[in-house]
Amino acid sequence: MGGDHGAETIIDGARLALQSNASITQLILVGRPEDIEAGIKRTGCRDPRVTIVPATEVLSMEDKPVEGLRRKKDCSILRAVDLLKEGRGDALISPGNTGGIVAASTIRLRPLAGVDRPGIATVIPGQKNDFVLLDSGASVECRPLHLLHFAIMGSIYSREILGYQTPRVGILSNGTEPNKGTETTQEACKLCKMADLNFIGYVEGHDLFDDRVDVVVCDGFIGNIVLKTLESFAKGLGGWVKDEIFTNPKRILGAMLMKNALRTIKRRLDPDRRGGAPLLGLNGTIFKAHGSASARAISNAIGECTKALQHRLTQMIVADIAKAGALATVQKS
């Protein structure tokens, strides 16, 4: 219910996913039944695998997460999380209030054994490699151990979903020298060095788009700022180029001849390609779709979730977090 474009777009995305993805055995739409039924009618999403689970309320973008969830007991995000808790669903996709998704799933599903804080793992595309940035907005203030867990979860995600054999993991800092960073990042570096990771130490902003790192670890405050700043810059630059082109016909002709070059890049940068980002570290497969997700984005997000399930991402995270914990205990003793 919580997307910018209403239930209809989400349902249209579900329709696309069901058409193309035979591995889906059931698709549950959670929300106001009248909105969902209207959406089904308008999009023609008539598939026997679709079920509706009613929820009378919606956590809006304006609601404060924890307070909103306390007030709106019958909101769609809580009902959807409960489906996972009860074993009636395997994965959850929501384009709604990020804080609400994080709070509802953390409270009801609990973090995985050994994990304290969930992290949103956003894939950022580059020319040479795609890297994972996490946490990009779930956990604002983090201790060193949380950053270690992000490193482990990001490494698994990069390997399993992006296909990097031994992902290079770095902690985002204001320079690559070991004396840089904060107390938290310095301590986190020590922990990551001990863990079974291809840990390359600190990375700085200059490294991100230069094929030097595959998993960029930071707290959710910084990750969110970095992600949104990049989105803002890319969008601003795109508009700027367009404005410059439309000042004269010669430039317009040039742009037409170059169209395919720009289109290739635009496609790679297109946020709809993945449709959002997974929330890792919880007892369940949770995916935050973009608030403004199109039907295609929602369909792709559903695809990302089936991949995560097929790769048994959650189970792998549990195993690697346990290994890191055991390693720390051995080294301490």
Binding site for a copy of itself (CB under 8 A): 64, 126-127, 137, 140-141, 172-175, 177, 179-183, 204-210, 218, 220-222, 224-237, 239-241, 243-245, 247, 250-251, 253-262, 264-265
Distance of CA 223 to the CA centre of its chain: 12
Distance of closest approach, residue 57 Cβ to a copy of itself, in angstroms: 20
Minimum CB separation of residue 119 from a copy of itself in Å reads 13
Cβ(105)–Cβ(81) under 8 Å?
yes
Query: CA 147, CA 151: separation in Å to the nearest integer?
Result: 6
Closer CB to a copy of itself, 44 or 254, in the complex: 254
Q: Which helix (H) or strand (E) holds 119?
A: strand 119-120
Return the number of the residue (241 or 326) whose C-beta is nearest a copy of itself: 241
In the bound complex, what is the minimum distance in angstroms from residue 145's beta carbon to a copy of itself? 18
Could you tell me the smallest distance in angstroms from the CB atom of residue 172 to a copy of itself? Answer: 6
- DSSP classification of residue 149: H
Which residue's CB is nearer to a copy of itself, number 63 or number 320? 63
Residue number, 107 or 261, with CB nearest to a copy of itself:
261
Q: Which is nearer to a copy of itself, 41 or 263 (CB)?
A: 263
Cβ–Cβ < 8 Å for 185, 173:
yes
User: Shortest approach of a copy of itself to residue 261 CB, angstroms?
Assistant: 4
Q: What is the DSSP letter of 3?
A: S
